[in-house]
Copies of this chain bind each other. A is one copy, B any other.
Amino acid sequence: MSTGEQRGRKPRADVQRNRTALLETAQRHFLQHGVGTSLEAVAKEAGVGPGTLYRHFPTREALLAAVLQTRSEELVARQADIEQLDDAAQALEQWLRAMEDYFSAFNGLPDPLMAAARAQEPDNPLTIPCGILITATDQYVRAAQLAGHVRASVRGRDLFLAACSVAWIKGTGTEGESLDRLRTLIASGYRRQDTQA
């Protein structure tokens, strides 16, 4: 947690204070009202003017990325657990589930994530996290392929998309059973040996 470079003047105290308040409030609003929540309302509840919010986070995506940053610690934790596993197939499965939960954190989150995953806009602050996730997925995929559990034609990006889709559907309010069926369908799609149902 290095403060980075502090050249010249020490940063002002209210900057950090406002930033923290904004992030906390934004996370609560994203949780309650989805990623489309009113930024004006966030600013007001955080006790700052809209100008301050937009100076800290120029776009909705920037704010979202900053909030996700704190949320991604949870994902990293699960990743540590998953790395303990011996079975590469299980590891992949749990990783996909972890990503899905991450994507479902806020209602409507998959849309901006997909927009960023397209990655034609390198200044989109969500592009980098997406890239990391796709790369990580690819590693799990390769490991499972080496162990003979996953078809050779599958790429990490494909399963990233699939996880994103499931999260999107979950966000639309589809009930749990349908989701389980879809997950099973996808798993049958990438697995090499067929567990016939």
Contacts and interface: CB of A to CB of B under 8 A. Distances in A.
Q: Tell me the number of copies of this protein.
A: 2
Nearest to A185: B189
A10 to B, nearest CB: 43
A127 to B, nearest CB: 13
B158 A188 contact: no
A80 B178 CA distance: 29
B172 A165 contact: no
A176 interface: no
Nearest to A113: B172
Nearest to A193: B194
Nearest to A190: B185
Given A153-B197, A197-B153, A158 B172 contact: no
> What 6 A-B pairs have minimum CB-CB distances, sorted nearest first?
A189-B189, A165-B165, A153-B197, A114-B172, A185-B189, A188-B189
23 contacts: A111-B172, A114-B172, A115-B172, A117-B172, A118-B172, A120-B173, A151-B196, A152-B197, A153-B181, A153-B184, A155-B181, A157-B181, A158-B182, A161-B169, A161-B182, A165-B166, A165-B168, A168-B168, A184-B189, A185-B186, A185-B190, A188-B189, A194-B194
